[in-house]
Amino acid sequence: MDEMRNVGVTPVETILGYDGLGFLKAIIDGTLPKAPISALLGFDIVDAEPGKAVFEGLPEFRHYNPIGTVHGGLAMTLLDSCMSCAVQTTLAKGELYTTLELKVNLTRAITKDTVLCARPGGSFIAAAPPAPRKATSAMAPATCSRTAPRRA
């Protein structure tokens, strides 16, 4: 992750000038700033396609809870970003969204030696698009998986 990259909140007027996928691509290529939450927690969006958004993060000691593992909120935030941005890729110019509900099952501890990658569709190899959008809502499943041993 490039910590020197521009961080900020894009004005709504600018966001409305993009379709959802174009907006995310502009963040990825650095045309628009990455979200402050990405800088705060140490993760980035690394890919976006129709119905798909991929985020990667490196857990650090600063993410630990008092019992010596990474706080579950890091995975929850990474997954929220992944799922909501997968839905965002389906938005037309002028449309906005927000997360309405989020459910996460944690199946093992995360440590600073875990490289996290959140990909939509329940698999970190193949991505499935979100369920068809309704007038005011959409669903997008995602999995947060260890991708490889931590880089030195």
3-state secondary structure of 30: coil
pLDDT at 124: 28
The pLDDT of residue 29: 96
pLDDT for 18 equals 98
- This prediction's pTM: 0.79
Q: What is the pLDDT of residue 146?
A: 57
Q: CB count, 10 Å around CB of 52?
A: 23
Distance CA 7, CA 39 (A): 7
Cα angle 67, 70, 74 (rounded to 5 degrees) comes to 140
List, for the chain, all residue ranges whose pLDDT scores fall below the cut of 70. 1-5, 115-136, 139, 141-152
The residues facing 146 across adjacent strands are 116
pLDDT at residue 134, as a whole number: 65
- DSSP 3-state of 78: helix
Report the side by side order of strands in the sheet with 43-49: 43-49, 52-57, 114-120, 142-149
